[in-house]
Amino acid sequence: MGRSLIVLLGPPGSGKGTHGRRWAEEHGCLYVATGDLLREAIRHGTALGVQAQTYVARGELVPDEVMAQLIEEMLQKADRCVVLDGYPRTLVQAATLEGLAHRLGWQVAMVLLLDVGEQELIERLSARRVCPNCQAIYNLLSAPPRQDERCDVCGAALVQRDDDRPEVVLHRLAVYREQTQPVADYYARRGMLVTVNASGTPEEVYARLRQVTAR
């Protein structure tokens, strides 16, 4: 797939991380979550990381220009197709990504939208637990750890992220509808959007994802 970008869209809790990682591995692509990219830059104290940290420390959104530079750095280093999770989130970012891709010799090959009903998302996110040590993700309903509230990988105690609490989830979904749904509509108008029904178990969803991307 060479210098191809596969963009993953979907509301919080739709399974972008779970299915994006698996699909990327299966197709020999690099899976890139922009949140991880940001955390890594901050942890390593890069120039962009230091810049981003000033906003994160104040609880503010990292500006588009900083995110664009992080994406640009990643694309310059990437040596295979990239599955991009978490960017673009707005129409401005979608335009920025197209400009970057064009300038650096990449192509947005496909845009995947994982579509799930709101009630199911709230239930999923409220049951989600993460390992603070190795970032493994579990779901107490559909993918529980073998040992109660302990990470299968490293044994650390699992935690619930603050933004997975029901009242916060409702706010996150409202933000998604307002900001990111227009991005999906934008790609749909251009004939680039592939919608996947992401309701059901992880295995059911991934089977549908494989089916629609095999066409």
What pLDDT is attached to residue 2?
66
| 172 labelled catalytic | yes
Longest dimension (CA), the chain: 49
Binding site for ATP: residue ranges? 13-18, 128, 137-138, 200
pLDDT digits (tens, 9 = 90+) for 1-26: 669 999 999 998 899 999 999 999 99
Catalytic option among 161, 165, 177, 190: 161
Q: Which long-range contacts (CB under 8 A, 24 or more apart) does 33-41 make?
A: 33/85, 33/86, 34/67, 34/70, 34/71, 34/84, 34/85, 34/86, 34/87, 35/86, 36/135, 37/70, 37/71, 37/74, 38/62, 38/67, 38/70, 41/70
Indicate if the pLDDT at residue 76 is higher than 70.
Answer: yes
Mean pLDDT across the stretch 88-116?
A: 95
Binding site for Zn(2+): residue ranges? 131, 134, 151, 154
pLDDT digits (tens, 9 = 90+) for 110-122: 999 999 999 999 9
What pLDDT is attached to residue 88?
95
What pLDDT is attached to residue 198?
96
Catalytic option among 128, 146, 189, 208: 128
Distance CA 174, CA 179 (A): 9
What pLDDT is attached to residue 93?
95
CB 200 within 8 A of CB 139: no
Catalytic option among 172, 189, 208, 210: 172
Which residue segments constitute the domains of the chain, with CATH numbers given?
A: 4-213 (3.40.50.300)
| 16 labelled catalytic | yes
Which two three-digit tokens encode residue 206? 């991934």
Indicate if the pLDDT at residue 102 is higher than 90.
Answer: yes
Binding site for AMP: residue ranges? 34, 39, 60-62, 86-89, 93, 161, 172
| 161 labelled catalytic | yes
pTM, entire model: 0.85
